[in-house]
Homo-oligomer: A and B are copies of this chain.
């Protein structure tokens, strides 16, 4: 009914722009003339925040890519869910910016707040992915059967992510380190889940051949 190609073009556009805009948050530090090197050396946490965020959004793109590839058709509801999904993804620029600013100022209370909001947005993104998977699961006629592993392999993954990010928010109250590590664990979990998912799909493809 609706065109898969325009949904892909719009989503690829949003992902490509967001991922390229993120790097603008990792900007030239303020410095006194002749002391640029020292100022840059202190930027490693910002660089780390950028690198982690880049691969987080990149993994979200990989999942989105596979999700759309597994669809035979697109209906109105899926288009609306996708619009919500892109909303949650664009929102991500804000916590990335908060974390970069808070880390640059090295204030513990502010870093805590920025980590909590970063985790909250990641939790929101995972919730929308859960709705996306759920919708596909209850509308199996929309599914391209060559991708049936997709559904089985990752049905519970967004729920696991939601739990991890929820835990990251709560533990941030006591410790930035534990909260930050759980946040990193959540992002690493996405990446591992993707590797796992694509390995499964490959094995199934081989069995079929």
Q: Are A91 and B23 in contact (CB under 8 A)?
A: yes
Q: How far is the CA of A43 from the CA of B83 in the complex (A)?
A: 23
A101-109, A161-169, A175-183 - the one binding chain B: A101-109
Q: How large is the interface on A (under 10, 10 to 19, 20 to 34, 35 or more residues)?
A: 35 or more
> Which B residue sits closest to A34, measured CB to CB?
B109
Contact residues in B for A17 (Cβ distance below 8 Å): 13, 16-17, 20-21
5 further interface pairs, Cβ-Cβ under 8 Å (given A19-B86, A27-B94, A27-B97): A3-B65, A33-B110, A37-B110, A37-B113, A76-B195
Binding site for B on A (CB under 8 A): 1-3, 6, 8-10, 12-24, 26-28, 31, 33-37, 40, 51, 54-55, 58, 61-62, 65, 68-69, 76, 79, 83, 86-87, 90-91, 93-94, 97-98, 101-102, 105, 107, 109-110, 113-114, 117, 195, 198-199, 201-202, 205
